[in-house]
Amino acid sequence: MPDKPSVLFVCVHNAGRSQMAAAWLTHLAGDRVEVRSAGSAPADQVNPAAVEAMREAGIDISAEIPKVLTVDAVKESDVCVTMGCGDTCPVFPGKRYLDWALDDPAGRGVAAVRPIRDEIRKRVEDLIAEIAPEPTA
Side-chain half-sphere of 79: how many Cα atoms within 13 Å?
A: 22
pLDDT in tens, 18-56: 999 999 999 999 999 999 999 988 999 999 999 999 999
CB atoms within 10 A of CB 116: 21
User: According to the model, what pLDDT value does residue 47 have?
Assistant: 97
pLDDT tens digits, residue range 75-121? Answer: 999 999 999 766 566 677 778 999 999 999 999 999 999 999 999 99
CA distances from 110 to 77, 101, 128, 130, 135 (A): 31, 19, 26, 30, 35
Q: How far apart are CA 38 and CA 60, in angstroms?
A: 18
Catalytic residues: 11, 85, 89
Question: What is this structure's pTM?
Answer: 0.93
Number of helices (H) and strands (E) in the chain: give both, helices first: 4, 4
Distances (CA, A) of 29 to 60, 125, 132: 16, 9, 7
